[in-house]
Amino acid sequence: MSRHLTLGPGREFDAVRDLLARWGTAATGVGDDAAVLDVPTGSRLVVSTDSSVEEVHFRAEWLTPEEIGWRATMAALSDLAAMGATPLGVLLALTVPVRWRGSLGAVAEGVGAAVRAQGAAIVGGDVTDGDRLALTITVLGHAPQPLSRAGARAGDTLYLTGALGGPGAALAAWMSGGVPNAAARARFAHPEARIAAGQWLAGHGATAAIDLSDGLSGDVAHLAHASGMRCTIALDAVPCVAGVSALEALVSGEEYELLVAAPSLDVNAFSAAHGGLALTAIGQVQAPAFGRGAEVVGEQGGVRVELPRAHDHFASVR
Ligand SMILES: [Mg+2]
């Protein structure tokens, strides 16, 4: 029995047939008007959508077509990681200009590889013509108790997965006409959604989480304001990749690492369970000071420092 319904004739459906052939077992149940998915009893449906647009989120000359597909898919799945959710399905809406038609298969290979790497499945999508390559990826997941940004409590510690600064360093090199080093480029081109990490953290007492898409400086502010708390970041504790300062790491976006609040976590047990991925305590959650609202405070060598401004979503890479 076919895992997909048989598609009708036409060039658009020929393109879809080609995508399905490439995806193999990474796609399932495609071809009806809508996908039908089972959510495990006792779990909640967790849904997010994310767009990756040529000349806004990436430039064609920076990445291979496979990397464009991988990166867009991992960026979308990262939001499920931040909720502590398990992926159920992925919906892919592609805008494909004529000049990209020959590379569509390679973009799709990257999407399929990322979906497979996270144990998800492509369950539907849409292909349309347009001026720029764009991937809009909707991810569906489930979790018994999804993590929110809003749950951090006074007395919690802030923990961060991985080390920051790679994507920012890659972007800085490209924007100044240079070439990033291989490690920085890999962090930009081949991010990993921290799906397993998110589930572990949710199961070990995390009270709040967010994935780092804007950069730590901006994303910790989202968590602080959603939770109505004061968050202090110890800049000297923030793990940075080689050659990157803490201040540069704070504004490095599209990291897709997780920032979580929790009363206490066993960082060694976390690392052992995730192939050596670091989990580092980088700050504290407190009730807001009298007369003040939620805020984020930086601290370095016992001295309060201003955190750099967050990434602006409307600042294009052009
Ligand atoms: Mg997010």
- pLDDT tens-digit readout, 191-211: 999 999 999 999 999 999 999
* 65 sits in which H/E element: helix 65-82
In the reported structure, the alpha carbon of residue 210 is separated from the centroid of ligand 1 by a whole-number distance in angstroms of 6
Tokens of 185: 């480029």
- Nearest residue to 232 via CA among 304, 164, 161, 165: 304
Amino acid letter for position 254: E
**DSSP conformation letters of 249-278:** HHT------EEEEES---HHHHHHHTTT--
Q: Rounded to whole angstroms, how far apart are CA atoms 188 and 168? A: 8
Q: How confident is the model at residue 45 (pLDDT cuts 50, 70, 90)?
A: very high
Q: Does position 183 have pLDDT exceeding 60, yes or no?
A: yes
**DSSP conformation letters of 118-184:** TT--EEEEEEE--SS-EEEEEEEEEESS---GGG--TTPEEEEES-B-HHHHHHHHHHTT----HHH
In the reported structure, the alpha carbon of residue 213 is separated from the centroid of ligand 1 by a whole-number distance in angstroms of 6
In the reported structure, the alpha carbon of residue 78 is separated from the centroid of ligand 1 by a whole-number distance in angstroms of 7
In the reported structure, the alpha carbon of residue 257 is separated from the centroid of ligand 1 by a whole-number distance in angstroms of 10
Q: Rounded to whole angstroms, how far apart are CA atoms 158 and 123? A: 36
Q: Are strands 86-95 and 122-128 parallel, antiparallel or unpaired?
A: parallel
If you average pLDDT over residues 302-306, what whole number do you get? 92
**Could you read off the pLDDT of 90-104 as tens digits, one per residue?**
999 999 999 999 999
> Which domains, and CATH codes, for the chain?
11-143 (3.30.1330.10), 149-305 (3.90.650.10)
In the reported structure, the alpha carbon of residue 13 is separated from the centroid of ligand 1 by a whole-number distance in angstroms of 33
Q: Rounded to whole angstroms, how far apart are CA atoms 304 and 298? A: 6
The model's pTM is 0.94
In the reported structure, the alpha carbon of residue 241 is separated from the centroid of ligand 1 by a whole-number distance in angstroms of 22
Q: Does position 148 have pLDDT exceeding 50, yes or no?
A: yes
- Judged by DSSP in three states, 202 sits in helix
Q: How confident is the model at residue 310 (pLDDT cuts 50, 70, 90)?
A: low
- The pLDDT value given to residue 8: 80
In the reported structure, the alpha carbon of residue 211 is separated from the centroid of ligand 1 by a whole-number distance in angstroms of 5
If you average pLDDT over residues 303-309, what whole number do you get? 89
Q: Rounded to whole angstroms, how far apart are CA atoms 223 and 21? A: 41
In the reported structure, the alpha carbon of residue 208 is separated from the centroid of ligand 1 by a whole-number distance in angstroms of 12
If you average pLDDT over residues 185-196, what whole number do you get? 97
In the reported structure, the alpha carbon of residue 7 is separated from the centroid of ligand 1 by a whole-number distance in angstroms of 35
In the reported structure, the alpha carbon of residue 197 is separated from the centroid of ligand 1 by a whole-number distance in angstroms of 15
If you average pLDDT over residues 292-318, what whole number do you get? 80
In the reported structure, the alpha carbon of residue 144 is separated from the centroid of ligand 1 by a whole-number distance in angstroms of 19
In the reported structure, the alpha carbon of residue 79 is separated from the centroid of ligand 1 by a whole-number distance in angstroms of 5
Sorted by sequence, the CB contacts under 8 Å of residue 42 that are 6+ apart come out as 144
- The pLDDT value given to residue 152: 98
Q: Rounded to whole angstroms, how far apart are CA atoms 106 and 314? A: 28
CB 198 within 8 Å of CB 85: yes
In the reported structure, the alpha carbon of residue 4 is separated from the centroid of ligand 1 by a whole-number distance in angstroms of 31
- The pLDDT value given to residue 99: 95
Average model confidence (pLDDT) for the chain?
A: 93
